[in-house]
Chains A and B, each alone.
Chain A
């Protein structure tokens, strides 16, 4: 079974530029999560999708962050414009459903904003 795929693995951009991350969840997984993990902290949920609908985006800075999962499969997370404090690892995870007993994580995208 293929795992959660994320790209790119690393990205360096200047502040005020835009960036996009891509995630392909495990086949058949209805629930998809985007997390932000700042160095030394635990992952913080940015947005959760159930199929192509948003379940929770309460911690997504909507003035600069956006995410979509148009066909209920893969997803993109965009930041525009980026700030220095956006430097973090962005983790995508998926599970069978929101009540699943485990979520599978991708390897993450390490973003550095300079």
Chain B
């Protein structure tokens, strides 16, 4: 079974608008971490945001926020005020018992 599911292969958003990238996960552990990474066409993986399973508040980092709904096992990434430079592949990942699993990613294209 897939541990991380990203159901949107591709997304488009207009510049300056907000966009939500979906991520659902599967685990029976109580302690785990959720991550989002950005991978531009140049190939490097850039850490964006982290949410611990025991964190009561949603994580935020600048224009990025993580909408964490524990009961639904979802960890959606919200990007506010999209910029052209946000066009990239976005990966959701989960770490449980020290081991990380990545989803297959969502390609985001920001339109001018």
B99 and A45 contact, CB distance less than 8 A: yes
Which residues from B are CB-within-8-Å of A35? 102
Q: Is B91 an interface residue (CB 8 A)?
A: yes
B86 lies within 8 A of chain A by Cβ: no
The verdict on B45 contacting chain A, using a C-beta distance below 8 Å, is yes
Q: Of B4, B50, B100, which is in contact with the most chain A CB atoms at under 10 Å from its CB?
A: B100
In contact, B98 and A48 (Cβ under 8 angstroms): yes
B100 touches A103 (CB 8 A): yes
What separation, in Å, do the CA atoms of A43 and B47 have in the docked complex? 14
Using Cβ atoms and an 8 Å threshold, which residues of chain A touch B100? 33, 45, 103
Q: Is residue B29 within 8 Å, beta carbon to beta carbon, of the partner chain? A: no
B45 cross-chain contacts in A, Cβ below 8 A: 43, 91, 93, 105
Partner of A42 from B52, B98, B99, B103 at Cβ < 8 Å: B103
Cα–Cα distance between A43 and B4 once the two chains are bound (Å) = 12
Chain A positions within 8 Å of B47 at CB level: 102-104
Is residue A76 within 8 Å, beta carbon to beta carbon, of the partner chain? no
Instruction: Check B56 for interface membership: any CB of A closer than 8 A.
Output: no
Interchain CB contact under 8 A, B101 and A45: yes
List 16 other contacts, CB 8 Å, given A42-B91, A55-B99. Answer: A33-B100, A41-B104, A41-B105, A42-B93, A43-B91, A43-B102, A44-B102, A55-B98, A89-B43, A93-B45, A99-B98, A101-B50, A102-B50, A107-B42, A107-B44, A108-B43
